[in-house]
Chains A and B, each alone.
Chain A
Amino acid sequence: MGRSGLTLRPAAASAIRHHGRETYPHECCGALIGLGGLVTAALALPNTTDDGPRRRFLVRPNDYQAAERHAAELEAGLLGFYHSHPDAPARPSRYDLEHAWPVFSYVIIGVDGGDPGQMTSWRLRNDRSAFDEEQLIEADPDEDAGV
């Protein structure tokens, strides 16, 4: 639980932006897969909410389990989840807070008029009272080669 900050491999950051653009004006969601605070893959998952996908997302248990299996196949783990906020700030909402799991990183990308914008990352405090923003770094593309 002690890691601080999250680093996205360029391919993962690109996949999140692409997904946010693709699903606009609906929210996209997916899993962050990697090890030790380094996200090596962003796995797109279906937004299965019944509450209106412009303002909500839901990853159901079967998709969660599929993400865990995918991570295991990559000999990695689940580091968290990402979702988009269409035409809304890349900051967690009260709804995000109420539904958050501990330990996981929650990456939020603002998508303004269809254009992916700011990306932030957040982690739930242990007492569930708030999120704390964590440093989000996009790795140098040159470091992507050969990994």
Chain B
Amino acid sequence: MATKILIPTPLRGYTGNQEEVEATGSTVGELLANLASEHTELRKHLYGEDGSLRNFVNIYVNDDDIRYLEKEQTPVTDDDTVSIIPSVAGGSGR
């Protein structure tokens, strides 16, 4: 069994154009690590050089942002749906 992960538009090219994929793991961190192992091109877009999730990558378990749960230690089950939801940021200034 595995947990469903919803892939946002800009990352679907790295998951065979699939909107939904499945991965195994008992926490969000494990799940995303396994996802990135399966689809290696995803890694640099999800994680920064320090190995932490990029701050414009938002992970939700069902309807809840993991920042307000237990972050990457948030437990997941096969009944949960995990969503990767972009923030889009930029601007002319440093």
Chain A interface (Cβ within 8 Å of chain B)? 1, 27, 29, 49, 51-52, 54-61, 64-65, 68, 77-78, 81, 83, 85-86, 88-89, 92-96, 99-104, 106, 126-128
Interface magnitude class on chain B: 20 to 34
- Main SS of the interface on chain B? mixed
CB-CB under 8 A from B44, the residues of chain A are 127-128
Q: A103-B10, A104-B10 are in contact. Are A57 and B91 (CB under 8 A)?
A: yes
Q: Indicate which residue in A96, A102, A127, A128 contacts B90 across the interface (CB closer than 8 Å).
A: A96
CB distance from B40 to the nearest CB of A (A): 12
Say yes or no: A88 contacts B92, CB within 8 Å.
yes
Contact at A57–B89, with CB atoms within 8 Å? yes
Least CB distance from A84 to B in Å reads 8
Q: Which of B11, B89, B91, B92 has the most CB of A within 10 A?
A: B91
Residue among A52, A56, A127 with most chain B CB within 10 A: A56
Known: A49-B89, A61-B87. 9 other contacts (CB 8 A): A49-B91, A55-B94, A57-B90, A61-B60, A61-B85, A88-B92, A100-B90, A101-B11, A127-B44
